Amino acid sequence: MDSPSAPPKVNGLIPPLIYGGDYNPDQWTEDVWREDVRLMQEAGVNLVNLAIFSWSRIQPSEREWSFEWLDRVMDLLHEGGIRVDLATATASPPPWLAHAHPEMLPVLADGVRLWPGARQHYCPSSPVYRHAAHRLAETMAEHYAGHPALTMWHVGNEYGCHVPACYCDVSAQAFREWLKRRHGTIAELNRAWGTDFWSQRYSSWGEILPPRRTPTWPNPSQQLDFMRFSSDELLECYELEREALQRHTPEIPITTNFMSFFKPLDYWRWAEREEVVSNDSYPDPSDPQSGMRAAMAGDLMRSLGRGKPWILMEQTTSRVNWREVNVAKTPGQMRLWSYQAMARGADGIMFFQWRQSPAGAEKFHGAMVSHGPVDTSPVWHEVKALGREIRGLDRLAGSRVKAHVAIVFDWESWWALELPSKPSGRLRLLDQVESYYAAMFDTNVTADFARPVDDLRAYRLVVAPNLYLVTDQAAANLRDYVQDGGHLAMSFFSGIVDAEEHILLGGYPAPLADLLGVRVIDWFPLPADTRLAVRFEDGSPAEGELWSELIEPAGAEVLATFAAGSLAARPAVTRNHFGKGTATYLGTRLDRGTMSRLLRLVCGAAGVNPVIEAPPGVEAVSRGEFTFLLNHGDSAANVELGPEKGGTIQVGARDVAIVGLEIPEQTSA
């Protein structure tokens, strides 16, 4: 029986746990396809992402369609018991389209046009591109409706990855129409954009342009609207295709692959329009923070799908090809990070790509099947072993991760915060989120992400690492949450501007001052490599970096003060009792150790417990009735489970254990 939380199933045809990768058979001759299916079976592959970059093969010219080859691939896969997440193939327009309609090519802010010869060379507002992409999606849907291998639709590919915005004349016109819908009148637009500054008043819509390259900073409100517009334009491209697919194959779920914390697209709005959230994740194996960051991305994906299982759509088996130095994953790392995704709610583990390309820009990117003979490839053995394990883990499918903490995450606030000409250009939202997330990751406290306007009552603790832009609705929501007994922890430079990027006057942080019980009189951002001593009330020392500010308590108690410089003895961390709850406020970025200690205290007060007390380097996450223990360290670790769960368990270096579920025994590959 389908569990209510499982991803939508087509007549029960989506395998409970998905295993596979991007499949590009058009880069190979037909004899290789047969070998592919045989090897896929050997590796336990049950789903492939097909035809993502096949537009020029499927439609060699405007009036010519060529489906025979793809039909044969679809049939072969079906005969081999492999299901297909079929792409609409619209991510890379064919050369003929761009040559017939050069106006569909994207233009950068400085007027440079991007030419065909790579991929994603389209203006998102281009009627030519939109029409051609819709036609292709529709033709694909008509052609493959009812094909027994068709299991899911993969719309486009990584929307916005290379071209998140276009500044051409077509985009300018689309931007004006979008602005009319948002602001209604030119007078209202002038108000919203604060155009009395620097003589920017507009007299007619026709004068408005995208924020093209200007002598100095373009109007920030204009930039913010352009970011909203650009996310919406790509979303419209997605929705156009989705409409065609839904009409022809209403029973087939639809996804488009996300790119973790991808700034240009407001994924909250996108995820609402997908049956299944899917993500591409390429953590750098040489960065010790990668495990933490990949966990954070997994939590975001789960949260975007409102708790539903998601799919790790792309990762590499070994290395990528696009860093300066493409460090390979160490043995066991691919398996560990795959389990991490499952621990954080993924019901599918997939790779870019199935077979390593012989030509083209990605021929040195890792794959499930590499250039050399498979038998001599350690990666192939890892791929096969993982596939075999996943086949035995079906009980995981559909189970949910329960978090008691929510991290407030808002794309519009992110965009606004990182516009230029701020008190500090060093203040970046993801760094802020990481300073909270890492502290919780270190202590195995699981968190969801949430919008500031979401219903937060299900969470015992809400953290807002930075909410620079705050709407009245968001401020009221946070206030009500604390008033009713919730616990909030929030950092500096929050509650500063409204949705148009205008200062919320009346003393910082105007809409949140009563909730936090403080007034912020002025900011003193810190240069790189500068640390400021902080002392907690119990005498314990700490360090602040990045930011400091002059805080005037207005009801809040002081938990820590700055201990040096012109702010010495002034509050650095405060706590306010507001209604039935509390609001803790941080006026600087605390070092990681202190952040962990502080969050432990805050979690303790809110009744949030770690999943398990585990040794450093062991990540613990509960999913349904199962608890994953992931050892990121280089040596074995003993984890104390407590008497109820059977004492102590040893987890090997870069190994995983699932309490409550046996991972199938590895026979030698």
Q: Which residues bind ligand GAL (CB under 6 A)?
A: 157-158, 161, 280, 282, 314, 320, 352, 362, 365
For strands 549-553 and 518-523, give the pairing. antiparallel
* Residue appearing with tokens 């912020």: 520
We find the least distance from the C-beta atom of residue 158 to ligand GAL, in angstroms, to be 4
CA-to-CA distance for 221 and 190, rounded, in angstroms?
A: 10
CB neighbours of residue 37 within 10 Å: 21
- Token couple for 110: 């400085």
Q: Which residues contact 18 (CB under 8 A, 6 or more apart)?
A: 46, 47, 311, 347, 348, 349, 350
Nearer to ligand GAL among residue 360 and residue 604 (C-beta): 360
* Angle at 373 (CA atoms; ends 372, 377), nearest 5 degrees: 80
Nearer to ligand GAL among residue 383 and residue 657 (C-beta): 383
557 part of the active site: no
We find the least distance from the C-beta atom of residue 152 to ligand GAL, in angstroms, to be 16
158 part of the active site: yes
We find the least distance from the C-beta atom of residue 230 to ligand GAL, in angstroms, to be 19
CA-to-CA distance for 31 and 294, rounded, in angstroms?
A: 37
Nearest to 160 by CA among 211, 229, 68: 229
DSSP secondary structure string for all residues of 83-148: EEEEE---SS--HHHHHH-GGGS-B-TTSPBPPSSSS----TT-HHHHHHHHHHHHHHHHHHTT-T
Nearer to ligand GAL among residue 231 and residue 318 (C-beta): 318
Residue type (1 letter), 320: V
Chain centroid to Cα 508, Å, comes to 31
CA-to-CA distance for 283 and 312, rounded, in angstroms?
A: 13
We find the least distance from the C-beta atom of residue 362 to ligand GAL, in angstroms, to be 6
We find the least distance from the C-beta atom of residue 558 to ligand GAL, in angstroms, to be 47
Nearer to ligand GAL among residue 23 and residue 536 (C-beta): 23
| Residues composing the chain | 669
* Residue appearing with tokens 């409102």: 306
Nearer to ligand GAL among residue 34 and residue 323 (C-beta): 323
Which is catalytic among the residues 138, 241, 274, 314? 314
CA-to-CA distance for 32 and 355, rounded, in angstroms?
A: 10
We find the least distance from the C-beta atom of residue 338 to ligand GAL, in angstroms, to be 16
Chain centroid to Cα 107, Å, comes to 26
Nearer to ligand GAL among residue 145 and residue 161 (C-beta): 161
CA-to-CA distance for 495 and 475, rounded, in angstroms?
A: 8
Bridge partners of 628, per DSSP, are 621, 658
Which is catalytic among the residues 138, 158, 241, 274? 158
Nearer to ligand GAL among residue 16 and residue 94 (C-beta): 94
Catalytic positions, please?
158, 314
